[in-house]
Amino acid sequence: MPELPERVLAFDFGTKRMGVASGQPITAMGSPLAPVTARDGIPDWDQVDALVKLHRPQVFIVGNPLNMDGTVSELSLRALKFARRLAARYPEVPVYRQDERLSTRAARETLAEVSQQRRGKLPSLDSTAACHIVASWFAEPNWTRV
């Protein structure tokens, strides 16, 4: 098994916005970042470029929104297309996909807990879901490259 990377950048694919989280193996958790705007599933590449320049990821993780029974969904096919575009744009950074079933539900629960603990602005639901994708990948990495 390969060594875990020091810096990852994860995406929770969406057609209007994509959640983003950075992560590292010491905590095996993600930190939410500002979501990237998208138009019909195509991200604002200037925003993605800025994130890559700032965070210098060694790995990209793209959530794979499978159906609950494990079958491929329409959104999963679109997320795969995004992952392939990401791989083509940054060929030096491996892209992996991670099952993200229930990540949005887990993100809602996380935000509900956080809102009870503090007042103020909460991270986006999409980027919180990306944090769950990071944690899931560190717990059980999928080493199959896009």
Domain residue ranges in the chain: 8-139
pLDDT tens, residue by residue, 75-133? 999 999 999 999 999 999 999 999 986 555 655 565 455 554 555 555 667 888 899 89
CB count in 10 Å sphere of residue 72: 13
Q: What pTM does this model have? A: 0.85
Q: Say how far apart CA 121 and CA 115 lie, in whole Å.
A: 9
Superfamily of domain 8-139: YqgF/RNase H-like domain (3.30.420.140)
| pLDDT for the residue numbered 127 | 85
Q: Tokens in use for 67?
A: 């159906």
Reported confidence tier of residue 53, pLDDT bands at 50, 70, 90: very high
By three-state DSSP, how is residue 66 classified? Answer: coil
